[in-house]
Amino acid sequence: MATQTAAHAFAHQLRAVMTERGYSVRALGKAVDPHEPERGRRKVQRSLSGKHMPNDATRRSYADALSAPALAEPAEDDEESDQPMRDFMAAIGVLVDRLVEKRMAQREAARA
């Protein structure tokens, strides 16, 4: 797992690029995931917290949306440097996203 220092450094870098380019959290979330902008917003917010280092795919999506290739570069202590680990982390990320969405749908259904 990336150290908290690397996660904080990435969060600071992401925030600086967002400010420079005039992107809000919501706008970047929509650019990252246009079909599910709320999910994109949650990813951005999680990345900006500095507690979790985003995976390789998420960093690439930020880099593409903000036209900032430096955001896609892995951290020095990034454990996702080999393909099997990247594949595993991507699969886990998809699973977590699905579970969160399912839980949110259940909560909304309970409120209705």
- Tens of pLDDT, residue by residue over 8-46, are 889 999 999 999 999 999 999 999 999 999 999 999 999
How large is the average pLDDT for residues 60-75? 85
pTM: 0.63
DSSP string of the chain?
Answer: ---HHHHHHHHHHHHHHHHHHT--HHHHHHHH-TTSHHHHHHHHHHHHTTSSPPPHHHHHHHHHHHT-GGGGSPPTT-GGGSHHHHHHHHHHHHHHHHHHHHHHHHHHHHH-
Q: How far apart are CA 21 and CA 41, in angstroms?
A: 17
Whether the CB-CB separation of 74 and 56 falls below 8 Å is answered with yes
Structural domain harbouring 58: 4-111
How many domains does the chain divide into?
A: 1
